[in-house]
Structure 1
Amino acid sequence: MPAAADGFRMPAEWAPHERTWMAWPGANDTFADPATLAGARAAWASVARAVRRFEPVTVVCAPGESAGARALLGPGVETVERELDDAWMRDVGPTFLVDGRGGLAAVDWTFNGWGAQEWARWDHDAKIAAYVSDLAGARTYTSPLVNEGGAIHVDGEGTVLLTETVQLGPERNPGWTKERVEAEIHAQLGTSKAIWLPRGLTADYPPLGHGTLGHVDIVAAFARPGVVVVHAQQDPAHPDHEVSREIIGLLGAATDARGRRLEVVEVPAPTVLEADGRWADYSYINHYLCNGGVVLCAFDDPRDETAAEIFGRLFPDRAVTLVDARPVFTGGGGVHCITQQQPRVG
């Protein structure tokens, strides 16, 4: 029986958290050279410390890596050890659910290395969701859908954002129809309406880097029911200019599960167009909401403060913390990609 049938649903990210889960970067194809790995670990630690100001943080480390991780993470951040392939807890970790009666559950999606990409390894990461769910004391529901946490975003009131190139891509779910995907998503998350985006940002696809083939959490996210923040690439020279225009138009015409027309808040992309010799997918949308805080990607860019002001207006009761996310984006993600919330129950 799926999770929703037992009364569980995925709350919005702004709902209170019990803690945040992360995973510690190790030597792999994503962080192939020592300098890149060192930069990634420093960036992951900065995010963990920023989140720890607001709520507990637990970091899953590969065996033998905890001591070195704690030296960078600093006091107050917990570590546990488990075999890992990579460090993207949003995607390999569980999607937590609540039932409103004190119950905690989690969906363990099928994970296949973001569409069985040639650089990915997932023998260990495919087991992390069940491991974290067990540590959290959650009831685990296993889904046959190949999916990741960065590929969904919910408003807590029945609406979920999805991307056609992810859940419907042949790399993940060959033969699945849109109706079948929606049925499985709703059955596990307790949602009732899916809003589909056609694709993600340009650099999220091969051969430009370690991409996800179009995760939604770098493009659009709910800020509250009826309101979405959307990546707005304003420079026509960047291919994401047309991508973001299409998505902004689509979301502006969409209604949510309650029948509300969505209010779209455009968040200008950073001014930099290229990074590491390729189109940049730097995005402020890939932020993380924690108890009393917004941890926001920064890029040493003039638009950093503009984004901080936008998020400050959207979340006036939360402190906005900017963290340099460039080393995270070098690996193929952002602040949201490396964090996973465990909601508070009761």
Structure 2
Amino acid sequence: MPAEWELHERTWMAWPSGGYTLGETPSDADAARGAWAAVANAVGEHEPVTMVVAAHELGQAERLLSSSVDTVVLPLDDAWMRDIGPTFVRAPDGAVAAVTWVFNGWGQQDWASWEHDARIGSEVARLAGVETVPSTLVNEGGGLHVDGRGTVLVTETVQRDPARNPGWSRADVEAELARTVGARRVVWLPRGLTRDSERYGTRGHVDIVATVTPRGAVLLHDQRDPAHPDHAVCATLRRTLEAAADAEGRPLEVVPLPAPRTLRDADGWVDWSYVNHYVLNGAVVACAFDDPADDEAAAVLAEAYPGRVVVRVDARPLFDRGGGVHCITQQQPARLSTGGPREEEAPWSS
């Protein structure tokens, strides 16, 4: 699996279509549509975007999306393309393929439906014109991060969730990740953030906790306020990462990425996270929260991804619904000739 910062052919997204994502009132629905459109339009300034839209929402989508965003009509249950879509990989000859995980509503959550979403991975692969690599692992794209060189970050509470993969050992998961995404070293984090571990969460996706950067450092969510339960969670995660190594055997360097200073919303402790950013051609689309930490986080991201512009999008409506910018985007890497240019040779990195 190529690193997210490598050259993309396009970004895939899914439009909010109903249920809790659109909410109970017209204003709730407008907020959801506006948030998804803001991310899509920001990405569309830098690379092609394809938005999967349910037929009954096509008019709303086309009204809000810029001309840089294409639409395709498919049935949807939800709008988290990172999780319901395929994970794109490259063969040694540079050809792109799509790993199609089993999707079961984030571990058969009683609030989720997945009749249509379980087929989106294969449908997107078909639309992208690439071969599929079917997997029997119940997994979501938000449940792993890679450095493009064989290091994979995961959490015990996702891939080894009994409601996802009952009976799977670490070795079983690692073997399947080696087969599908080329994992050579799997770094197991014990859990995710507090709110994401509650009823309406994913049970611990890594993509709001930690991510790798082009120079090999790991950005880690850093909750600095002892009043928030994630303060202790982050300390445990840091110890785990500092004791780990990448696929080349090099110790992981941990770079703290501050948590927003806002601790609670109407529903309890927030899991707002700047880790949940999206790296694309020439840019980073970053979560913003109208929070005093927004500027510091943007500066850390700018240093982590030199040569890219950091574009901020208000992520509060996304997190109100259970995710962030990374959760609603999925990159399709460019096909490369053998030995072709990777990110470090891209025009924006000079």
Task: Please say whether Structure 1 and Structure 2 have the same fold, judged by a TM-score greater than 0.5.
Answer: yes
- Report the counterpart of residue 181 of structure 1 in structure 2: 173
Query: In the TM superposition, what is the alpha-carbon distance from 1:101 to its structure 2 partner?
Result: 2.1
- Report the counterpart of residue 339 of structure 2 in structure 1: none
Which runs of no fewer than 5 residues in structure 1 stay unpaired? 1-9
Query: In the TM superposition, what is the alpha-carbon distance from 1:43 to its structure 2 partner?
Result: 0.5
User: Is residue 2:214 matched to residue 1:219?
Assistant: no
What whole-Å deviation, never above 9, does each CA across 1:177-221 have from its counterpart, x for those lacking one?
Answer: 1110111111100111100000000000223xx210000000000
Query: In the TM superposition, what is the alpha-carbon distance from 1:70 to its structure 2 partner?
Result: 1.3
- Report the counterpart of residue 243 of structure 1 in structure 2: 233
Query: In the TM superposition, what is the alpha-carbon distance from 1:275 to its structure 2 partner?
Result: 1.4
Query: In the TM superposition, what is the alpha-carbon distance from 1:49 to its structure 2 partner?
Result: 0.8
Q: After superposition, where does 1:175-324 map in structure 2 within 5 Å?
A: 175-207=167-199, 210-324=200-314
| Pairing partner for 1:83 from 75, 84, 99 | 75
Q: Distance in 1 between matches of 2:305 and 2:198?
A: 35
Query: In the TM superposition, what is the alpha-carbon distance from 1:67 to its structure 2 partner?
Result: 2.3
Q: After superposition, where does 1:64-75 map in structure 2 within 5 Å?
A: 64-75=56-67
What whole-Å deviation, never above 9, does each CA across 1:125-171 have from its counterpart, x for those lacking one?
Answer: 00000000011011011111000000010000110001000001111
Query: In the TM superposition, what is the alpha-carbon distance from 1:31 to its structure 2 partner?
Result: 3.1
Q: Distance in 1 between matches of 2:242 and 2:29?
A: 40
What secondary structure sits across from 2:291 in the alignment? coil
Give the residue type in structure 1 aligned to 2:22. Answer: F
Q: Distance in 2 between matches of 1:306 and 1:48?
A: 24
Q: CA contact under 8 A between 1:226 and 1:261: conserved in structure 2? A: no
| Pairing partner for 1:31 from 4, 17, 22 | 22
User: Is residue 2:85 matched to residue 1:93?
Assistant: yes
Q: Distance in 2 between matches of 1:212 and 1:293?
A: 27
Give the residue type in structure 1 aligned to 2:90. Answer: V
Q: Distance in 1 between matches of 2:48 and 2:100?
A: 22
Query: In the TM superposition, what is the alpha-carbon distance from 1:318 to its structure 2 partner?
Result: 0.2
RMSD in angstroms over aligned alpha carbons? Answer: 1.0
TM-score where L is the length of structure 2: 0.94
Q: CA contact under 8 A between 2:209 and 2:273: conserved in structure 1? A: yes
- Identical aligned residues as a percent: 56
What secondary structure sits across from 2:297 in the alignment? helix
Give the residue type in structure 1 aligned to 2:144. Answer: I
What secondary structure sits across from 1:128 in the alignment? helix
Q: CA contact under 8 A between 1:100 and 1:345: conserved in structure 2? A: no
Q: After superposition, where does 1:108-127 map in structure 2 within 5 Å?
A: 108-127=100-119
Q: After superposition, where does 1:5-84 map in structure 2 within 5 Å?
A: 10-34=1-25, 35-84=27-76
Give the residue type in structure 1 aligned to 2:31. Answer: G
Q: Distance in 1 between matches of 2:114 and 2:125?
A: 18
Q: CA contact under 8 A between 2:174 and 2:183: conserved in structure 1? A: no
Change (3 A) 1:225 1:310: closer
Q: CA contact under 8 A between 1:26 and 1:37: conserved in structure 2? A: no
| Pairing partner for 1:139 from 127, 131, 146 | 131
TM-score where L is the length of structure 1: 0.95
What whole-Å deviation, never above 9, does each CA across 1:16-60 have from its counterpart, x for those lacking one?
Answer: 000000000011134331322211110010000111111000000
Q: CA contact under 8 A between 1:64 and 1:81: conserved in structure 2? A: no
Q: CA contact under 8 A between 2:100 and 2:134: conserved in structure 1? A: yes
Q: Distance in 2 between matches of 1:88 and 1:124?
A: 13
What whole-Å deviation, never above 9, does each CA across 1:99-142 have from its counterpart, x for those lacking one?
Answer: 24241101000000000000000000000000000110110111
What secondary structure sits across from 1:29 in the alignment? helix
Give the residue type in structure 1 aligned to 2:328. Answer: I
| Number of equivalences | 335
Q: CA contact under 8 A between 1:157 and 1:225: conserved in structure 2? A: no
Higher mean C-alpha deviation, range 15-24 or range 243-252: 243-252
Q: Distance in 2 between matches of 1:260 and 1:226?
A: 9
